[in-house]
Amino acid sequence: MSKNPIQFIEEVRQEVSKVTWPTWKEVWITTAMVVVMIAIASMFFLFADQLIGWIVRSVLGLGL
């Protein structure tokens, strides 16, 4: 079952050569999309947290 290390490295190089690597433009676009989605999610959770905190304070009578 064990393979020759040289043969293994050659097979790895063959498989890596089959990979379709993204262009720099694609990398920048997807990076920008991730940053925008993180900002949107952060704002959503900030507002949800503020709303839930306000509701809890109102129910418990802490928001005098």
Which tens digits make up the pLDDT trace of 6-29? 899 999 999 999 999 999 999 999
Q: Which residues of 16-34 are buried (b: 16+ CB within 10 A; e: fewer)?
A: eeeeeeeeeeeeeeeeeee
In the chain, pLDDT over 70 holds for what percent of residues? 94
Q: Quick one: pLDDT band at residue 2, thresholds 50, 70, 90?
A: low
Residues 62 and 54: their CA atoms lie apart, in Å, by 9
pLDDT at 41 over 90: yes
Residue 32 forms part of a structural domain: yes
Q: What local confidence, expressed as pLDDT, does residue 36 receive?
A: 98
**Residue-number span of the structural domain to which 55 is assigned:** 21-64
Residue 12 resides in a domain? no
Output b/e per residue, 2-13; b: 16+ Cβ within 10 A. eeeeeeeeeeee
Is 5 a member of any domain?
Answer: no
63 lies in some domain:
yes
| Total tally of structural domains belonging to the chain | 1
**According to the model, what pLDDT value does residue 15 have?**
92
3-state secondary structure of 55: helix
Q: Would 13 be classed as within a structural domain?
A: no
**Which is nearest to 34 in space by CA: 45, 26, 23?**
26
